[in-house]
């Protein structure tokens, strides 16, 4: 089952269960996917976001909510921070299992070897290889500095 079908199925289940919090989050996910579809149409590309693009959207949504939750906590708005974190849990249900630090280190080493990277100039190739295989499985904001350390 592709990502859209999984999300739409979960949306229907949330409607039947009258789970308003889950329903709202799933509608936000659908809206983000539809925004991507519209952007692709405007660029003249084939309509419909691929599963990899959906994973990228979901990853970005998780990152945004973590940042918002941190800001709310710093501002003393704990109820809003909790809401953001509960949305993260719902979104993460659709993401693949996250790799742990040891697995990420091994994957980075393998990508550097596969690409034949030797210097910082090759960082883009390494990151591209990682993104093509591991979208949604790791935080590329944290992986970038790891790659840079290994190449630098």
pLDDT tens sequence across 72-129: 999 999 999 999 999 999 999 998 888 888 888 898 888 888 888 888 888 888 888 8
Structure tokens at 5: 């079908």
Q: Which fold has domain 101-151?
A: Arc Repressor Mutant, subunit A (1.10.10)
Q: Are 77 and 85 in contact (CB under 8 A)?
A: no
Q: Where exactly are the structural domains of the chain?
A: 3-92, 101-151
CATH superfamily of 3-92: Uncharacterised protein YqeY/AIM41, N-terminal domain (1.10.1510.10)
The dihedral built from the CA positions of residue 89, 91, 94 and 100, taken in this order, carries a sign that is negative
pLDDT band at 47 (very low <50, low <70, confident <90, very high): low
Q: What is the pTM of this model?
A: 0.74
């Amino acid at each position: 089952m592709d990502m859209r079908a999984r999300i739409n199925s979960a949306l229907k289940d949330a409607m039947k269960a009258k789970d308003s919090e889950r329903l709202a989050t799933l509608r936000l996910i659908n809206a983000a996917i539809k925004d991507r579809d519209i952007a692709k149409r405007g660029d003249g590309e084939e309509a419909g976001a691929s599963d990899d693009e959906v994973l990228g959207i979901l990853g970005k949504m998780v990152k945004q909510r973590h940042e918002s939750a941190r800001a709310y906590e710093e501002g003393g708005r704990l109820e809003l921070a909790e809401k953001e974190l509960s949305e993260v849990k719902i979104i993460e249900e659709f993401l693949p299992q996250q790799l742990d630090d040891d697995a990420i280190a091994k994957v980075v080493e393998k990508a550097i070897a596969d690409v034949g990277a030797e210097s910082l100039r090759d960082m883009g190739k390494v990151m591209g290889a990682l993104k093509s295989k591991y979208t949604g499985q790791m935080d590329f904001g944290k992986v970038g500095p790891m790659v840079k350390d290994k190449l630098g």
